[in-house]
Structure 1
Amino acid sequence: MAISAPTRDLQWSRSVVKPGEVEKYLDSRGLDFIDEEAIFRALEETRTPDPRTVRDILDKSRAIQTLTPRETAVLLNVEDPDMLEEMRQTGLEIKLKVYDNRIVTFAPLYMANHCVNSCSYCGFRRENTGMHRRHLTMEEIRHEASALAGTFGHKRLVVVYGEHPLTDIDYLEESINAVYGVRVPTRRGHANIRRVNVNCAPLDIASLRRLREVGLGTYQVFQETYHRDTYRRVHGTQSLKADYRWRLYAMHRAQDAQVDDVGLGVLFGLYDWKFEVMGLLSHVRALESTACGIGAHTISFPRLEPAHNAPLTRSSRYAVSDADFLKIITVLRLAVPYTGLICTARETRDIRNQAVLRGITQMDASTRIGLGAYSSGHQNNFGETPPDPLAQEGQPSQDSCSQRDSCNPEDSYSQKEEEQQFLLGDPRTVEDLVRDLAAMGFISSFCTAGYRIGRRGERIMRLLRSCNEGNFCKLNAIITFREWLDDFATPETREIGEALIRQELAGAEQRTPALHTKFLDYYRRTSEGARDLYV
């Protein structure tokens, strides 16, 4: 007798969790690191923060030290507008001190919408029978990677998977290899994806080791909410994701698997935002206290957005206002001053521009979250049909770019709510983002160099804490910006970019004198058509 799909999925779910890979991390009393009572107490006892205390805490942040829970609670409770502005300015000061004026660009690539879980806030939840379920084939993944690299100019992706037996570790490995395997010609050189970050379900240590070997960048698992009762309420009791601690210790397992960079996150709007910030800080400090001694490489803070057949997304009592959202970013920048902060296209253009002035370090652009949406027939920014990697390999092309009239990658793309996990707020292309950031005095960085030459994990954290990481990454940002302008920019954007590059070049020698000769050589060679050079 054939096993039904729901029964098969349930059997698979039960095989995923390894209790021993949770229990080993608990304290002597069998407790985890989220102390809800202590969090509530700290928030209550710091309800009326003293300005002098706040300024002492800001001085500690300037020294690039992780704040304590109580110090973070003090900042969360600040309400005075003048003090909030002082906090914002300090956050930006710290960001520039640690990361300089770079904003790293990336794109998400959704691989599948199969899922065994029942998250009440997500369009992918298994009860959403109105969603057409599928996963990308390797051929489709190569088309998507070709478009992302050869049409949009992206060098860095975060690949996103649901939790399902059809997208197990074997699929993860094969799909990441497919992304890395694409190489396409551009106007002046060639393009490829050089960094693949992974947002997927919690994995066991053996699976994480396999991902590390295949070239995993940052491993992202968002706890969604650190509040246990809320976690149970929004995830149910019968799904794989219902196991709070299996998810909570995903990053501890990643460190044991020698995954160098891990990314945390919360879905703000499920519970009280102040509690969630305290949960994130507790998570960072727990990771810092391990044998590896490494906190989060990045923190993300998506807000609850409308999703098809997910009523909670439209009626949460904990919805986060714009003002509180921007305060969240400010406090996180101050609490974990060395960590990268990611603000995604869930947010509007205006909110993301304001987030830049509060210390974020990464933004996505030309974002599409429908399966196969990037390669659905577009020309590149300079009006040419992007090459098809499959056709180059002697396989039939499925690209329909030649049938399109538009040369704007966004013209023929529209969001269909029933096909996506949630809806987007910022439709900006990479071109748009580059121009906006330049106008604000920031350079868009397409650099992925550090990860490939050992500046990752503990080493990158030391460089960040000592404010020396920017000495390398700023030079590589200029080189990759030169590369992107030559390969992808329209004349208007190129003109704006050239002015920014002249400004950046003027200060490059002073920043890193020992590397200046090598940097100038690589910059010249890049201008002449060489690609993927870095110091």
Structure 2
Amino acid sequence: MLTKEEKAWREVRLNQILKWEENCPYEDFIDDEKIWSIIEAKKEPERQEILEIIEKAKENAYTGAMLAPEEVAALANTKDPDLWEAIFEAATWIKNTVYGSRIVLFSPLYISSPCVNNCAYCGFRQSNEAVKKKTLTMEELEDEIRVLTGMGQKRLIVVYGEHPVSDVKFMCETIEKIYSLKFGKGEIRRVNVNAPPLFKEEYEEIKTVGIGTYQVFQETYHHETYRRMHPKGTLKGEYKWRLFALHRALEADIDDVAIGVLLGLYDWRFELLGLLYHAYSLEKEFGVGTHTISYPRLEPAVNTPITTKSSYLVSDEDFKKIVAIIRLMCPYTGSILTAREPASLRQEVLKKCGVSQMDAGTRIAVGGYAEMEKEHIPEKQQFMIQDTRSLDEFILDLCREGYLPSFCTACYREGRTGDNFMPLAKHATVKNFCIANGILTFKEYLLDYASPEVKELGEKVIIPEYLKWLEDNIPRAAERVKELLKREEKGERDCHL
């Protein structure tokens, strides 16, 4: 139960949110009836139509254009297995055309789990007394970063509950702390944020500490389902406040924003179109699309029955279709596949669905990295993860499949963000930076952290293969990367283009 102080904090903030909604400058871009009419109208798409949509999606890889809602609905309603193979092939082709065969790696870091909301699907909801809520102290945060940098991680997504102990001041303090920590050659170079929606002035404050991407998931775009999942009187119960969270972030000059849905709360075809309309709105209002799209599925959580009993749970086969369609519908965006999924499924989705970013070495209990030997600490977790491979094991599997593991943060630190990044992604030239900087960050990992097996495969196969790609396609960049590799071998770090 919430304390008197927590209730008072929530009440004050809710009144501020309601006042913002009264003066909201944007119109709700989700029309439930219209979305369903589009889905129904495309219930039986013709084979030729699907083939034409696939070709259009591939052409869009060079322009950054997105598919139309009718085209996404047609793909979602496709039943022909042969057409699905063509869709999967196109998803892989588009991803490699835009980003190359590199996979960006990161780890989530849960910093605070107390929350004043009561979302039906969340293990951290305020009424769930079966889960122990915790906020890291600065000393505990330092311990977590020591473990993460000791693995070789350079990129984080930090996660906060919506609560007075984790307000924007606390967020800024913890992010500043993370950037300040150095352990030998280990450091965190990019901190992305998964946190509650903020007011414009709060986004301006958090921008000053140098965050990467700000991520807010709508969870479900379906209005009635949203109301059922998020009780009235809670902060998250305000649909429009959350829907325009990233519009306010862009108003505050946050460079990169990210959207997502929680699959399993409602019909996944509807949610796909919701994501598309969200990306459309960001483009319309700011000329900058979503930096990444995430598509987590419901996973079991302690004392949270809806996570296993929802009538909209997504099968593995449908999940693969969703990920592939996202790549076709929005070719420029980063596609994030998380450790919620089992290792075997992640390997399959990676190969055929156009994924570009993945977390690895993941622990999601608050304080979980300090207890790495425990794969799960259920009483401290928001949900259960399925892929508990270590970072090195994960990288070994990537290398065996011929991918380039990347810890790149160069675009963020060289100002290639927001409207400076989008033209590179939308015209399929960003991979020139992705491959070059991926090689350099992977070399750091090989020198400082890799197991002997990863080091041998990386040095003898992966780096030579991708250097050859650079030599064949961008000779000048290849020469520069070779120079920087030599400097890394002499002890220099953070070399990038």
Q: Same fold (TM over 0.5)?
A: yes
Q: What is the TM-score when the length of structure 2 is the normalising length?
A: 0.96
Counting helix residues as a fraction of each chain, which structure ranks higher? 2
What is the CA-CA distance between 1:145 and the residue it aligns to? 1.2
What is the CA-CA distance between 1:10 and the residue it aligns to? 3.1
**Equivalences for 1:309-324 in 2 at 5 Å?**
309-324=303-318
Residue 302 (structure 2) aligns with: 308
Q: Which runs of 4+ in 1 moved over 6 A?
A: none
What is the CA-CA distance between 1:16 and the residue it aligns to? 4.8
Q: What is the TM-score when the length of structure 1 is the normalising length?
A: 0.89
Aligned residues: 489
* Residue of structure 1 aligned with 2:31, choices 21, 35, 44: 35
Q: Deviations over 1:419-473 (max 9, x none)?
A: 1100011011111111111121211101101111111111211001111101112
What is the CA-CA distance between 1:6 and the residue it aligns to? 4.6
Report SS of the residue matched to 2:108. Answer: strand
Structure 1: runs of 5+ lacking an equivalent: 377-409
Asked whether 1:266 is paired with 2:261, we answer yes
* Residue of structure 2 aligned with 1:375, choices 362, 370, 375: 370
**Equivalences for 1:39-188 in 2 at 5 Å?**
39-63=35-59, 64=61, 65-149=65-149, 151-185=150-184
Asked whether 1:478 is paired with 2:472, we answer no
Residue 450 (structure 1) aligns with: 411
1: CA distance between counterparts of 2:240 and 2:124? 22
* AA matched with 2:26: L
What is the CA-CA distance between 1:260 and the residue it aligns to? 0.9
* AA matched with 1:141: L
What is the CA-CA distance between 1:7 and the residue it aligns to? 2.9
**Equivalences for 1:347-426 in 2 at 5 Å?**
347-357=341-351, 358-376=353-371, 410=372, 412-426=373-387
Q: 1:18 to 1:451 in 2, by over 3 A?
A: farther
1: CA distance between counterparts of 2:435 and 2:19? 44
Q: 1:15 to 1:139 in 2, by over 3 A?
A: farther
What is the CA-CA distance between 1:19 and the residue it aligns to? 3.4
* AA matched with 2:154: K
* AA matched with 1:295: G
1: CA distance between counterparts of 2:191 and 2:478? 29
2: CA distance between counterparts of 1:160 and 1:7? 22
* Residue of structure 1 aligned with 2:398, choices 431, 437, 444: 437
Q: Please report the RMSD computed on the Cα atoms of aligned residues, expressed in angstroms.
A: 1.3
Residue 421 (structure 2) aligns with: 460
2: CA distance between counterparts of 1:413 and 1:16? 41
Report SS of the residue matched to 2:369. Answer: coil
**Equivalences for 1:1-20 in 2 at 5 Å?**
4-17=4-17, 19-20=19-20
Maintained 8 Å contact 2:213/2:258: yes
Report SS of the residue matched to 1:172. Answer: helix
Residue 462 (structure 2) aligns with: 500
Asked whether 1:525 is paired with 2:487, we answer yes
* AA matched with 2:263: F
Maintained 8 Å contact 1:107/1:367: yes
Q: 1:22 to 1:158 in 2, by over 3 A?
A: farther
* AA matched with 1:220: Q
What is the CA-CA distance between 1:184 and the residue it aligns to? 0.8
What is the CA-CA distance between 1:493 and the residue it aligns to? 1.3
Maintained 8 Å contact 1:269/1:316: yes
Q: 1:286 to 1:183 in 2, by over 3 A?
A: same
1: CA distance between counterparts of 2:47 and 2:396? 38
Q: 1:219 to 1:21 in 2, by over 3 A?
A: farther
Maintained 8 Å contact 1:21/1:204: no
1: CA distance between counterparts of 2:138 and 2:16? 24
Maintained 8 Å contact 2:363/2:375: no
Q: Deviations over 1:170-219 (max 9, x none)?
A: 0000000011011111xxxx110000000000001001111111111000
What is the CA-CA distance between 1:129 and the residue it aligns to? 1.5
Residue 381 (structure 1) aligns with: none
Q: Deviations over 1:331-378 (max 9, x none)?
A: 1000001100001000001111111121011111110011112123xx
Maintained 8 Å contact 2:152/2:449: yes
**Equivalences for 1:182-261 in 2 at 5 Å?**
182-185=181-184, 190-261=185-256
Residue 516 (structure 1) aligns with: 478
What is the CA-CA distance between 1:15 and the residue it aligns to? 4.8
Asked whether 1:336 is paired with 2:330, we answer yes
